Structure formats: structure tokens, C-alpha cells
Structure 1
Amino acid sequence: MSELLSNFIGGRWVAGSGAGTPLFDPVLGTELVRVDATGLDLASAFGFAREQGGAALRALSYRERAGLLAAIGKVLQANRDEYYAIATANSGTVKNDSAVDIDGGIYTLSTYAKLGESLGERRFMPDGEPARLGKEPLFQSQHVLTPTRGVALFINAFNFPSWGLWEKAAPALLSGVPVIVKPATATAWLTQRMVKDVVDAGVLPAGALSVVCGSSAGLLDQLQPFDVISFTGSAETAALIRSHRAVVQGSTRVNIEADSLNSALLLPGEAAGSEAFELLAKEVAREMTVKSGQKCTAIRRVFVPEALYGAAAEAISARLAKTTVGNPRNEAVRMGSLVNRAQLNSVREGLALLKQQATVLHDGAGHALVDADPAVACCVGPTLLGVGTAAQSDAADRVHDTEVFGPVATLVPYRDAAHALALVRRGQGSLVASLYGSDPKALAAAALELADSHGRVHVISPDVAAQHTGHGNVMPQSLHGGPGRAGGGEELGGLRALNFYHRRSALQASTEVLAAL
């Protein structure tokens, strides 16, 4: 029987009392480790984090907490090779895809370490300038942001066990708020190992960072009014969180990142083979295959002028055909596996649903697996679907409503710019849309038109072909989240991320008192 990973709560390592849930290699099918959270004293764990971890963190300045983030980054950097090995075994990712998760998490930590340095020795953040409350400036109102005296509970998704932790934990710890992370069971190993390395290094005060691996049962019941919860996952689970007593009655602050039908849009006026056209084809193929399409920000719908539908289908399919799929340990493989058998079945079911309203332009089933047994490996080739005509684009509601969380995208033709924008909005709120074209004014206008329904609009023109950061790459300097179907949440965005972990108050006092702050 494989090793049972321990949970770190209350300042100590505690094993669950159950047999544990096994984690598997999605390519080889072998059991790796087991996780279990049965029988944990969650009330004590949350209390310890609030009282011990929170007090210790709040006693530090932003600059001192930034130093903790920098120290965490050094610990993780020293153990990168082990993390890559775990990612290959547990997530089935090739090296470049593992880097998106592992190095992306370390980069986010370093970014917030630098941002924290800029906040200096303060322990609160002023919010705006003082406002007079009378004719004379003797008695004024100053808004301030102070760290919430609670714990930050993170319930994370399976696709980013590293970045998913650190992109949330970095602003939380910098704010002075202790963290309890519940990673997705399927890929909890990497999260647990990273937490273990940080704990073993003695970087953080006791109670500042905890990890619970296994079932999430009972976690929400521990939440109190000044705690916060950040969730990444399905809309169904998000609805359960929003309806929980702690949120409904206790007003526990909640941030949600849920489903997203992200788009790529080629603006009118481009010709087949133009630079903007080729940039779209390249980015769509890349986004479909990075992490086997298992990214919340991956391109799911591709909009092109109706006259370019055939050329776009051909250009994207030609790129996808070069993608080798199989065992990530083989250097010839460019796309690894889905995370497990359940995810493979989900992708197959989603494909079958979309195929009722779309045709196959590039069939993933035509990709022979490299160094992997099709009967065992959770691998699937990239599949491009299409709806054929602009009229069908309106009728194909499943294309705009169904997210297949794998290497699948649908090509959708449009009549004109207004039709294109209307079709993009059929996603009912997304994390990101990317625009491709060569007319700066048209790109700017389209970006503003889509800004209200997207957390991020990524504009790619020929002049930034070599510099843009990628449709699906979440940079800590920019906001991550989205309205509507995407969950209505906001993360990152530089120092904006700290707002979630602070409480805003108005201090009304004399000018002399406010100056003493």
C-alpha cells in the first residue's frame, strides 16, 4: 500500500484516521500516494490558525511579510526538480506544462514579495485622501484598510496544485492573514509537498500555513464572519458554498472562480495568411494543448469571419496535427494526459454533446499515443470542432453553454463585427477573451465592448507578436476572475488582490490624530 500523506494543522502533522483515497499516475495507472482527512479536529485547526498564525502575521509590517514570501520562493526554487517529478507522475504533464504551474507559482510569490516591499513598514493601508467633514479641515474622515482577523480558506482545483495555492496565498500572507488550503484530491500530492518543504524550512510563524488533504467535509462549518473563502472549481460546488450558513448568515467573504467559455476573436478585415490570422491559429493550437486543455483560461470558442472559416479550420488543424500525445516522460511527447479517468470520461461525454451541433474539423482520435497504453493512459488527442455557417452559430447553443475541460475548441463563423461581439457575449461572462487584428482603433473599440463581460481582454496585434504573455497565462500584475458564469470573483491584479483580505473602515478624527497614523 502506498504512503499516506499527512495533513498539517494546528502547527503539527496529523494523519487522517481512514484508509485514504489513492492518487494515481494517469498514464501508467499505478498508485502513487494516498490522502485522508478523516477524524481531524478542524475546530482546533481553524482556531489555532486565527489566534496563533493571525496574531504573528499581523505583528509584522508589509515589508517583513514580503520577506517571508521571498523566503518561501527560495525554498520552492531549491526543490523544483522534485516538484517536476511529482507533476509528471500525478498530473501527467510534460515539462513545459509543469512549468506553467510550478514556475508560475514561484514567479507570483516573487512578484508579491516585491509589491510588499513597496508598502514599507506600515501595518495598514490608507484608502484615498482624508475628506473634510465640515467647513474647516479640523475634523476629517480617512478610509483605511486593515487585515481581517480571520483565516483564509482555499478550496482549489486539480489543474494547478502549485500556482493555485501560491496565487492565493501570496496576497493573503502579505496581508497578514493565515492560510488553510484544501487542494483537489486528485493532485493534492504536489500541494502537500510544497507546504511540507516550507514548514520544514521554518519560514513562517506557526499557524500561518496549513494543508488539509482529502475530503472537504466540515471545512465550511468552521468559517466565522471575519474569515474569507476562495474557491476555484465547478459552478455546482460554487452554488453550495454560496448557500452555506457561514456565507448567508455570517457574511463570510467569498471569492469564486467557476466555469468559463473563453473566446478568441479574429476581427473583420484580415485575410487568410495575414500576420494576425497566423497569430490566432498559433495561439488557439497552443491553448488547446497546454496542460491538455485543462486550464480555466483555455480557449474554448474561436470566432472568425465567415469567409475565413475554411482557411482557419485548415490552419489550426495543421498545427494540431503536429502535436504528439502520450507519456510525458518521452521527450518526443508534446502533450501529456488528462488528470484521471473521471476527467477522460467527462471530456468524452462533453465532446459527444457538442458533436450533436458541430462537425469534427480535426479529430483527436487520429493521434496515436506515444509510449502509452490506450487502455490505461488517460490521454486524448486535441479535437477542433466547427459549426459551419454564421446562421448555425446562432443556433448552436451548446457551443456557447458547454465547457469541455480538455483539448477541445469550436470554430464559430460570424457575419460582421456586431454579430461577433454578440456571439462572444453568449458565454455569459468569461475569464478572458483574446482579440486578433492589425487595426489599433478597431482592436481598442472591440476590447472596450467586451470588457464588461470579461475579467481580462488580451489584445494581440502584429507589433506585440513576440512580446505578449499569452491568452491563457495569468500574470500577477493583471486581474484574474470574471463576471457571470465565470463566478464573479477577482484575484491578483497587483496590490488589488490585498483588498479581499482587508476590511475597509472610515476613521473620523481630528487632523492631528489622523496625522499620527
Structure 2
Amino acid sequence: MAHEKQFYIDGKWVDPVKPALLDVIDPSTEEAYTQIAVGSAADVDRAVAAARTAFTSYSRTTRKERLELLRAILAEYNKRRSDVGDAISREMGAPLQFARDIQAGRGTAHLERMISVLETYPFETVEGTTLIAREPIGVCGLITPWNWPTNQIACKVLPALAAGCTMVLKPSEEAPIDAIIWTEIMHAAGTPKGVYNMVQGTGTVVGQAMSNHPDIDMMSFTGSTRAGIRVAQAAALTVKRVAQELGGKSANILLPDVDFQTAVTKGINSMMVNSGQSCTAPSRMFVPQERHDEVKAIAKAAAERFVVGDPRNPETRLGPVVNATQYEKIQRLIQAGIDEGAELVTGGPGRPENLNRGFYVRPTVFANVTNDMTIAREEIFGPVITILPYKSEEEVIRLANDTIYGLAAYVQGANLDHARKVASQMRAGNVHVNYPMGDTAAPFGGYKQSGNGREYGKWGLEEFLETKAVIGYQAA
């Protein structure tokens, strides 16, 4: 790839102000397969200056002009979609077909959704004699994670473009290559210079420089709660708007009338997909106490069907986790589960027996877990699920909500009205009833320490808009 050691600023690929390189590690081999340039505050200054200059004209573009741009991006993206999937598989370890179909497919889905939203969104309404105008907030700093990299780039860049904002993107340094392809797509689509800028680098340098930059009007961040707090603290110095999608520890409540064979199997599958590296993963499975032993057996069989191995092997269902830090964290938490008395049903510490290198984790199921155990409190972000028995509906609702997080929750039940009643009591931004298909029109975001603001569809667009009241716009 031609642009790994460059940034994209003001419509062209440029060298960093201060040359510095970072290895990009293939998690399946633990070896570097390329290097990227990493930026400094000086690179951020250049990118922000370009975005600030471009905002004057881009913020005044018409709906038609912005729709033409989004449609051009969609056309270029679909030409490169398999390249995006290949990059994601290599950089963060997702099985290749999953990366091509699901991970890369999210880019197409978000593009199509944002085009649909922009076609009809009412940027101006009149209430009485007052015009209510929704206008672009300004220059936006976008920081995206490594676990669903293109998905998160799409659901930040696209609404910002649709709103009329300009931006600087800092993708994760753990998954930087798909962002380079995305940037090539933006260039090929004819994005006006300065509207979209991309600087690679670390959160502590580039992310910090963006968060406290006086010429950035908004920060949109997806990542850990710990890092999100640092972004918010830095952004507070210039009173920026901050939108955050952070961690999760999602409850999955199986009500007594559910088909347990189906519900437990789907719960395990949902947990293990993407090697458990999803902030919405249903990591706490609550089951009626009298069905606990039955659930254990179903969960064990479902988890052991996951073939762990090389992401490029078509038989693989579970690739490695992203890096050594994540691997070691997951191993520590698996051991904590054992030490604190949880029942290890399958999996456990170490790599699967047939693998001696790569950041591979054994699909792990714990049962007889209590909600005060470390594995029920901390976000593991790996293929590890906890089964927690409950005695009553009142108890399970209390336990499900007993977490600092509130990103997602899941409720499974044969009686839909009953499941809806339980769902209404979940303190979470997204509640999934009976494992539905995903919905890119639904607002995505969390309660409590899972963040603030919403992404996807019209909700994502509105995060990038300011509200202006023109009083006296109409004659009385």
C-alpha cells in the first residue's frame, strides 16, 4: 500500500512533520507485517487548519451536493469493499469471510442509511414566528476503535459529512490499514479538500492534541471508558461537545418460558462473534436457577463448536484477539474467575491446544457466577461468558442493572408482551428482544458509564448539528 507512511490532509497525502513509525502486528502470528507513520501535535495542527478553512464553504453546501458526495463514496466503497474486509482480518484478526461480509458490510449499510436520512431530514422548521434551523456544529475530531473499525469510521464520518461538518479522523493505531483504504475511497469520490483529514497516531499524542485543540468544536470518541474520560477532561477546557460510545457489560436475561436450547445457543454465538470483542456483547447470561444445569450443558456444547484458528482458514469461526495487552488482560480475568470460585464449564487459561503462537483465547464459559465476581463486573472483551442463576424476575432485573455500564441489554422470552415489560426496565441504551437483526436506523449509545450521545441514522446526524432559533423570522 502506497500511503501507510503518510497522512491525508487538505485533499492530499503528506509526510508527517516529524517522521516516526509504528509496527502493525498481525495478531494471528504476533509479527509485524507493515509499519505506519504516527503523528504529533504539529500534524494535528495542520489537519485542523485545513478543516477550519474548508468549513466556510462546505458548511454552505446544499443537501443535493452532500447527497452527491455520499453517493460517490458509496460507489467507490463498494469497489473496495473486499479490500476493506481483507485489511480488517489481517489487522485485528477477524475470520476472513466474517470480515468481508459483516465487518466491511457495515460500511455499505451505514452509507445507504445516511443517504436515506439526508434525503428527507428537516434542517429547518418554523414554529410560530420562529425559524428553528439545524446547522453543522463545525470542525469535528473523530477517534475510532480497532474492534469494529470501519463500522465506527462510517458512523462518525458519514453523519458529519451529511451535516455539513469538516473533520479530522484518528483511527486506532491497532487497526490502521482499513482507515487508509477508507481515505483512498474518500479521495477517489472527490471529497472537497480539507473536508476530510486523517492523521494516524496514538491516543496519548494525537488523540490528546485533538481533544484539547481550540479549533475543534466537537469530539466524537469510541473506545474504553477510561480513555473516554481523558477525552472528556481535555475537551472540557474548550467547552467542546463530546459524544462518546464506551464500554459495556451487557445482561442477557432468559425468561422461564423461552426455548432454552435456542436461546442459550444464540447467546453463546452472539458472545463469541468477533472473538468477544464487541462492546455490546451479551456477556452476562441470567438464567432461572432451576434451569442452571441444563443451560450449562447447552452452553458448553455451543462454545465447543467454535473452531479457533487462523483467520484465513475458511473453517475458523474464532480468530485471535487483537494484541498482547488484550490477551494478557483476558487471561488475568479468566484466572480471576477460577480463583473467585466460579465454575469453569469449558475453556480456561492459555491458548487452544493446537496453537502455539498468536493471541488466541479458548472459548470460555463460567457458570454459578455471582454478580459481585470480577468476571461479572469488568468488561473482559474476549470470548468469555458468565452464567448467573436467578430466583425471581424482580431479582434478575435488579442484578441486570447492577453495573456501571448501560450500553446494551438482551431479553429472551416466548411471551412477547412479557419480554417487552422486562425490556422496559433495563437501564441501557439498546435492548434486544429475542435476538433481532441489527438496525442501522436505531439510535446506538449508552446510559451511565457507557457514554453519552447517539450514533446511527438520524440520531447520528443530529449529534453533529447545532440548533439556531431565528426569532421574528415570520411576520406576526
TM-score bin, normalised by smaller chain: over 0.9
Residue in 1 aligned with 2:142? 154
Residue in 2 aligned with 1:496? 459
Q: Are 1:479 and 2:443 an aligned pair? A: yes
Q: Distance in 2 between matches of 1:43 and 1:117?
A: 34
By how many angstroms is 1:239 displaced?
1.4
Structure 2 vs 1, CA of residues 64 and 408 (structure 1 numbering), >3 Å: closer, same or farther? same
Structure 2 vs 1, CA of residues 433 and 44 (structure 1 numbering), >3 Å: closer, same or farther? same
Q: Which amino acid aligns with 2:400?
A: V
Q: Distance in 2 between matches of 1:34 and 1:278?
A: 46
Conservation of the 8 A alpha-carbon contact between 1:154 and 1:229? yes
Structure 2 vs 1, CA of residues 326 and 100 (structure 1 numbering), >3 Å: closer, same or farther? same
Q: Distance in 1 between matches of 2:458 and 2:321?
A: 34
Residue in 1 aligned with 2:343? 359
Residue in 2 aligned with 1:434? 410
Residue in 2 aligned with 1:130? 127
Which aligned pairs between 1:419-458 and structure 2 lie closer than 5 A? 419-450=395-426, 453-458=427-432
Residue in 1 aligned with 2:21? 20
Q: Which of 42, 45, 55 is residue 43 of structure 1 equivalent to?
A: 45
Q: Which amino acid aligns with 1:178?
A: T
Conservation of the 8 A alpha-carbon contact between 2:97 and 2:314? no
Residue in 1 aligned with 2:109? 107
Q: Which amino acid aligns with 1:213?
A: Q
Conservation of the 8 A alpha-carbon contact between 1:427 and 1:485? no
Q: Distance in 2 between matches of 1:70 and 1:488?
A: 29
SS in 1 for 2:454: strand
Residue in 2 aligned with 1:137? none
By how many angstroms is 1:100 displaced?
2.4
Residue in 2 aligned with 1:350? 333
Q: Which of 219, 230, 254 is residue 229 of structure 1 equivalent to?
A: 219
Residue in 2 aligned with 1:418? 394
Q: Which amino acid aligns with 2:365?
A: L
By how many angstroms is 1:310 displaced?
0.8
Q: Which amino acid aligns with 2:280?
A: T
Question: Once the two structures are superposed, what CA deviation does each residue of 1:246-301 show, in whole Å capped at 9, x if it has no partner?
Answer: x3232100011112101110113x2xxx53x2332122221222110111111110
Structure 2 vs 1, CA of residues 449 and 202 (structure 1 numbering), >3 Å: closer, same or farther? closer
Q: Are 1:208 and 2:208 an aligned pair? A: no
Q: Distance in 2 between matches of 1:189 and 1:510?
A: 49
By how many angstroms is 1:186 displaced?
0.9
Q: Distance in 2 between matches of 1:15 and 1:354?
A: 47
Conservation of the 8 A alpha-carbon contact between 2:347 and 2:364? yes
Structure 2 vs 1, CA of residues 3 and 125 (structure 1 numbering), >3 Å: closer, same or farther? closer
Which aligned pairs between 1:379-394 and structure 2 lie closer than 5 A? 379-387=360-368, 393-394=370-371
Q: Which amino acid aligns with 1:147?
A: P
By how many angstroms is 1:158 displaced?
1.1
Residue in 2 aligned with 1:11? 11
By how many angstroms is 1:57 displaced?
2.4
Q: Distance in 2 between matches of 1:70 and 1:313?
A: 48
Q: Which amino acid aligns with 2:201?
A: G
Q: Are 1:194 and 2:182 an aligned pair? A: yes
Q: Distance in 1 between matches of 2:325 and 2:359?
A: 9
TM-score relative to the length of structure 2 = 0.92
Identity %: 23
Question: Once the two structures are superposed, what CA deviation does each residue of 1:136-190 show, in whole Å capped at 9, x if it has no partner?
Answer: xxxx333321112x21111111112211100111111100111211111111111
Q: Distance in 2 between matches of 1:510 and 1:166?
A: 36
Q: Distance in 2 between matches of 1:280 and 1:160?
A: 25
Q: Which has the larger radius of gyration?
A: 1
Residue in 1 aligned with 2:267? 284
Q: Are 1:242 and 2:232 an aligned pair? A: yes
Segment drifting more, 190-199 vs 302-311: 190-199
Residue in 2 aligned with 1:331? 314
Conservation of the 8 A alpha-carbon contact between 1:63 and 1:118? no
Size of the aligned set, in residue pairs, is: 468
Q: Are 1:170 and 2:154 an aligned pair? A: no
SS in 2 for 1:203: coil
By how many angstroms is 1:487 displaced?
1.7
- Give unpaired runs (5+ residues) of structure 1: 132-139
Question: Once the two structures are superposed, what CA deviation does each residue of 1:90-109 show, in whole Å capped at 9, x if it has no partner?
Answer: 12111343132211122111
Q: Which amino acid aligns with 2:190?
A: V
Q: Are 1:31 and 2:21 an aligned pair? A: no
SS in 2 for 1:46: helix
Q: Which amino acid aligns with 1:109?
A: L
Conservation of the 8 A alpha-carbon contact between 1:178 and 1:207? yes
SS in 2 for 1:328: coil
TM-score relative to the length of structure 1 = 0.85
By how many angstroms is 1:56 displaced?
3.5
Q: Which amino acid aligns with 2:49?
A: G
Q: Which amino acid aligns with 2:430?
A: R
Structure 2 vs 1, CA of residues 488 and 214 (structure 1 numbering), >3 Å: closer, same or farther? same
Conservation of the 8 A alpha-carbon contact between 2:376 and 2:386? no
Q: Which amino acid aligns with 2:379?
A: E
By how many angstroms is 1:441 displaced?
2.4
- Give unpaired runs (5+ residues) of structure 2: none
By how many angstroms is 1:447 displaced?
1.2
By how many angstroms is 1:42 displaced?
2.3
Aligned-pair Cα RMSD in Å = 2.2
Question: Once the two structures are superposed, what CA deviation does each residue of 1:37-75 show, in whole Å capped at 9, x if it has no partner?
Answer: 3454322320211221x2342232223312211211111
Q: Distance in 2 between matches of 1:322 and 1:362?
A: 11
By how many angstroms is 1:505 displaced?
2.0
Q: Which amino acid aligns with 1:80?
A: R
Q: Which amino acid aligns with 1:385?
A: F
Segment drifting more, 10-19 vs 24-33: 10-19
Q: Distance in 2 between matches of 1:459 and 1:412?
A: 19
Q: Distance in 2 between matches of 1:423 and 1:322?
A: 29
Structure 2 vs 1, CA of residues 498 and 83 (structure 1 numbering), >3 Å: closer, same or farther? closer
Q: Which amino acid aligns with 2:281?
A: A
Q: Are 1:63 and 2:64 an aligned pair? A: yes
Q: Distance in 2 between matches of 1:80 and 1:3?
A: 18
Q: Distance in 1 between matches of 2:4 and 2:384?
A: 35
Residue in 1 aligned with 2:130? 141
Structure 2 vs 1, CA of residues 226 and 343 (structure 1 numbering), >3 Å: closer, same or farther? closer
SS in 2 for 1:210: strand
Q: Which amino acid aligns with 2:358?
A: A
